[in-house]
Amino acid sequence: MIKHLLTAALVSTFATVVSAQVDISDAWVRATVQGQKATGAFMNLTAKTDTRLVGVKSSAAAVAEIHEMKMDKDVMRMQRLTSLPLPAGKTISLKPGGYHVMLMGLKEPLPVDSHVELTLMFEDAKGVKSQQELHVMTTRNAPGAQGKPADAHHNH
């Protein structure tokens, strides 16, 4: 019996360690207006070991996907990515005009200063899957973009 409890404690401790393998900072979601059915979520991701962002879920949207915006012959195109590599120790910025999370089929408008729940799903180089849940504030522009203090919009 004690052996089983110890094994369960080790597994739960390991899961906690795994879920903290990616540091997430400066997360924000672009606020929406009535009738708008999609928006973007943005943040900085820094993995401690080689990891990939393999999925996103949100209770605020029917669909959440990883997307990339890039120029293709003078035309800005958006494409869905099945995963986004996060090399160890390198900060990958999800920002307007680059990599980002698309939230589509929004269930209701997301006014400024509302909260959006996001679950990010990761997979490390060994195939170990983990996830991190965020509560992200909505705003019109990136935190600090207009001289406002950025610390008011960090994830909780």
In this predicted model, what pLDDT tens digit does every residue of 116-150 receive, in sequence order? 999 999 999 999 999 999 999 999 988 765 443 33
Mean pLDDT of 26-34: 95
pTM for the full predicted model: 0.78
**Neighbouring-strand partners of residue 139:** 30
Q: Is 133 within a domain? A: yes
Q: Is 137 within a domain? A: yes
* All residues at 6 or more sequence positions from 20 whose CB lies less than 8 Å from its CB, including other chains: 132
Residue 17 has pLDDT above 70, yes or no: no
pLDDT tens across 40-74, in order? 999 999 999 999 999 999 999 999 999 999 888 88
The residue segments making up the domain with residue 23 are 2-142
Q: Is 62 within a domain? A: yes
Q: Is 135 within a domain? A: yes
3 state DSSP class of 7: helix
Mean pLDDT of the chain: 83
pLDDT on residue 10: 44
Could you give the number of structural domains in the chain? 1
CA pair distance 29, 151, nearest whole angstrom: 15
Residue 5 has pLDDT above 90, yes or no: no
**Residue 131's CATH number:** 2.60.40.1890
Say what percent of the chain tops pLDDT 90. 70
Residue 16 has pLDDT above 70, yes or no: no
Q: Which of 90, 51, 93, 91 is nearest to 69 (CA)?
A: 93
- Please state the separation of Cα 140 from the chain's center in Å: 17
Q: Is 155 within a domain? A: no
Report residue 17 as tokens.
Answer: 């360690």
pLDDT on residue 21: 82
Q: Is 72 within a domain? A: yes
3 state DSSP class of 35: coil
Count the Cβ atoms, other than its own, within 10 Å of residue 101: 24
Q: Is 104 within a domain? A: yes
Q: Which of 116, 93, 107 is nearest to 30 (CA)?
A: 116
